[in-house]
Structure 1
Amino acid sequence: MALLGEVVLLGFLICLSFGTTVDSDNGATLLEIKKSFKDVKNVLYDWTASPSSDYCVWKGVTCENVTFNVVALNLSDLNLDGEISPAIGDLKSLLSIDLRSNRLSGQIPDEIGDCSSLKKLDLSFNELSGDIPFSISKLKQLEELYLKNNQLIGPIPSTLSQIPNLKILDLAQNNLSGEIPRLIYWNEVLQYLGLRGNNLVGNISPELCQLTGLWYFDVRNNSLTGSIPETIGNCTAFQVLDLSYNQLTGEIPFDIGFLQVATLSLQGNQLSGKIPSVIGLMQALAVLDLSGNLLSGPIPPILGNLTFTEKLYLHSNKLTGSIPPELG
């Protein structure tokens, strides 16, 4: 029994020693990350190297209860300047990184792709520049990627399609260029694709409707050309479709009336022809904006059936005739 007690005690001491090692590694990594920040207001005052300082209670840090590994880092809206340290890749157990709404600059470090357990990455509303690193595609557990409102350049990496669990991809308000990678349309679980406010070119691929779970598609304010795919009505999950302020031409396809969207924004293009009467059957519409195009002919009276539509914009076209009384 004495021998058994010694074995148990030895095992306990080994586990305790291992736990201390994990603590030391994570704490040192966090301090290395802090070095790359310019914390003018000293909001990370409790991030110190003091032996009595427990990094699991530091501001913005969440640890796992058993291993004490850092699983979440939330430093959003803290007025932090500086850059994101490559050391962040050493926090292998991270599930969530939230650095949004700061003034971080420089490039997204390639090492961020080493956070192999990551499910959410939010770097939006900063001043990050450079390309989107291909290493992000290594994050096979990633479900949400927010990089909007930065100064990112270059093409959208087609390898993002290799992230099997990606549900939200928000790259809006950057300086991204090139075409939308067609491989993106083969992601079976993608639900939200925000690309507005970039310099994207090319056509809207008919393959878009292969994203059977996609409910939000926003490419507003780019330089997309060509026509709206005739098969757009097959995108049955859409709730928000915003193609506005591009250079789209041709007629509004009849099949668009099969959508169950709440928002349909096509304004600021070069669409021509008549307004399809079938739009009057889109009972879920809350916002319909067809303004700023080259649409002609009369306003279909059936648009009066859109009883739940709160905003209807048809101005700045070449429409003729009077406003139907059904719209009164």
Structure 2
Amino acid sequence: MASAHPNRPRPPAMLLLLALLHFSLGASKINCATPPDNSTDVLWLQAFKHGITSDPSGWFSSWNSSANHCMCSSSIGNLTFLRTLNLSKNSFSGRLPPLNHLQKIQVLDLSRNRLHDSIPDAITNCSSLRKIRLTTNFLVGEIPPKVGLLSNLSVLDLFANNLIGIIPPMLGNITSMRSLVLAANNITGSIPDELGKLTNMWNLALGQNMLSGGFPRCLFNLSNSLQILGLGSNMLSKEVPPNIGDDLPNLQMLVLYDNMFEGQIPASLGNATGLEWLVFKNNNLTGMIGEWIGKLTRLQRLYLQANSFIGPLPSSLGQLTQLRYLTLGNNKFEGPIPPLGQLTQLEGLSLANNKFGGPIPLLDQLTQLTYLDLGNNKFGGPIPPTLGNLQQLWYLDLSQNNLEGNIPIQLGSLTSLYKLNLSSNKLTGKIS
């Protein structure tokens, strides 16, 4: 369940996911031009120069009436020739600048500042807008439904603010929309069916809000375009539709963590062969993971921890040679671990808090591993000396198993190790 987000800025987490599901905001330099016949704009720009209280980089020191000018202040609403305004990654505070007369502006980027206003209805006067990026500010209030009148809009990015209310159904009128990012706010309600009309959408990021209801089946209308779907950290429930992999075959990232989804992971996801991220951690999912998982040969991140999965792991897991992170902890998996020696790109492996048995699997070929957690299982036998080959390891947890014998001297070669936990086993011999 998502919590309220009263304070900003947030830590740069998921951002998973985020980070995972939110993309580059562009360069911080200001991108605008003053037409030679628009002397009024020059006067306004010079007036803005006097409003700048801090200029540590000396950007404005050479400004005069004959210089090329760019915008950095609060009277931008009078620059009627402006096409692009990028003031991102600064420390501007206060309200959004007046936008009433910027009817030609196409790109508005005020990201990563300290603006705390609500989004005004007047933004709809900027009918030429194609991209709006207001991410990582302190914006409040609701998303104005009239934003749905901006028929040319392809990008709306309001990530990491304090916005409330619902997702306006009128956004479904912007059929040119390709990227809609409303993640990390306090938005409530269900995901409106009208979003199913956005058939050009490739990136939909609605995570870290308080959205409720079931999986939005309206998104199946986006089968030809949708590549990134981020719904993590909400209050969504019920089952993940069995046909999701058939109806969204072009998915590259599916992020559903921290919800209340039930039932099994649909086997149809094996048909979404372009998947690179599959994130289902912290739900109420059950059942076994089928052999279909081996079809996802592009998969780089598989996060299934903190559910109620059962049974042995599929042998086809060893076919996912592009995997970098595999986390299956806090489930009810059991049985031996299938061969993982081909997963040579693996950096993080967590199988903790399950019922896995047998010997510790041979992992000596996984030389990229930095994190290995096999704690709280039923592994027996000796600790494999070949773990000493994993020279990148900084975290190793083999605690709460049935391991026997001595600690291999080869573990002494793990010079990057930050944490070593071998507690609650049956180990003997001397500690050297």
Q: Does the TM-score normalized on the shorter chain lie above 0.5? A: yes
**Do 2:45 and 2:70's aligned partners in 1 also have CA atoms closer than 8 Å?**
no
1:248 pairs, out of 261, 265, 269, with 261
2:272 pairs, out of 252, 255, 259, with 259
Give the match for residue 5 of structure 1: none
CA distance in 1, matches of 2:36, 2:71: 21
Deviation at 1:60, TM superposition (A): 5.3
CA distance in 1, matches of 2:141, 2:226: 28
CA distance in 2, matches of 1:244, 1:59: 41
**Residue identity in the other structure for 2:231:** V
**Do 1:169 and 1:192's aligned partners in 2 also have CA atoms closer than 8 Å?**
yes
What do residues 223-278 of structure 1 show as CA deviations (whole Å, max 9, x unaligned)? 10011011111211110110111110111111111112011111110101111221
CA distance in 2, matches of 1:31, 1:152: 34
1:209 and 2:220 are equivalent in the alignment = yes
CA distance in 2, matches of 1:31, 1:135: 33
| Distance verdict in 2 for CA 1:217–1:136, change over 3 Å | same
Task: Structure 2: state its 5+ residue gaps.
Answer: 1-34, 74-78, 342-362, 364-432
1:174 and 2:192 are equivalent in the alignment = no
Deviation at 1:326, TM superposition (A): 4.5
**Do 2:159 and 2:181's aligned partners in 1 also have CA atoms closer than 8 Å?**
yes
| Distance verdict in 2 for CA 1:247–1:29, change over 3 Å | farther
Give the match for residue 287 of structure 2: 273
Residues matched between the structures, number: 297
Give the match for residue 74 of structure 1: 86
**Bigger shift: 252-261 or 154-163?**
252-261
SS at match of 1:57: coil
Give the match for residue 157 of structure 2: 146
Give the match for residue 346 of structure 2: none
**Do 2:194 and 2:218's aligned partners in 1 also have CA atoms closer than 8 Å?**
no
**Residue identity in the other structure for 1:296:** I
| Distance verdict in 2 for CA 1:118–1:28, change over 3 Å | farther
**Bigger shift: 312-321 or 96-105?**
312-321
Give the match for residue 312 of structure 1: 326
| Distance verdict in 2 for CA 1:104–1:326, change over 3 Å | closer
1:58 pairs, out of 70, 79, 104, with 70
**Do 2:301 and 2:323's aligned partners in 1 also have CA atoms closer than 8 Å?**
yes
**Do 1:206 and 1:231's aligned partners in 2 also have CA atoms closer than 8 Å?**
no
SS at match of 1:151: coil
- Counting only pairs closer than 5 Å after superposition, residues 1-328 of structure 1 correspond to structure 2 as 23-24=39-40, 26=41, 40-41=53-54, 53=65, 57-59=69-71, 69-85=81-97, 87-211=98-222, 212-234=224-246, 235-260=248-273, 261-326=275-340, 328=363
SS at match of 1:325: coil
Deviation at 1:186, TM superposition (A): 2.0
SS at match of 2:163: strand
CA distance in 1, matches of 2:45, 2:211: 37
SS at match of 2:237: coil
What do residues 145-195 of structure 1 show as CA deviations (whole Å, max 9, x unaligned)? 110010000001111110121101011110011111111022110110011
CA distance in 2, matches of 1:250, 1:23: 65
State TM-score, norm by structure 2. 0.64
What do residues 56-109 of structure 1 show as CA deviations (whole Å, max 9, x unaligned)? 612459xxxxx9811111111120010013x31211000111100000002011
| Distance verdict in 2 for CA 1:126–1:326, change over 3 Å | closer
| Distance verdict in 2 for CA 1:135–1:250, change over 3 Å | same
| Distance verdict in 2 for CA 1:165–1:278, change over 3 Å | same
Task: Structure 1: state its 5+ residue gaps.
Answer: 1-17, 62-66
Higher helix fraction (1 or 2): 1
CA distance in 1, matches of 2:203, 2:225: 9
**Residue identity in the other structure for 1:132:** I
* Structural RMSD (CA): 2.8
**Residue identity in the other structure for 2:234:** N
**Do 1:257 and 1:279's aligned partners in 2 also have CA atoms closer than 8 Å?**
yes
**Do 1:29 and 1:88's aligned partners in 2 also have CA atoms closer than 8 Å?**
no
**Residue identity in the other structure for 1:295:** F
| Distance verdict in 2 for CA 1:210–1:180, change over 3 Å | same
**Residue identity in the other structure for 2:211:** L
**Do 2:301 and 2:325's aligned partners in 1 also have CA atoms closer than 8 Å?**
yes
Identity of aligned residues (%): 32
| Distance verdict in 2 for CA 1:59–1:29, change over 3 Å | closer
Deviation at 1:301, TM superposition (A): 1.3
**Do 1:302 and 1:326's aligned partners in 2 also have CA atoms closer than 8 Å?**
no
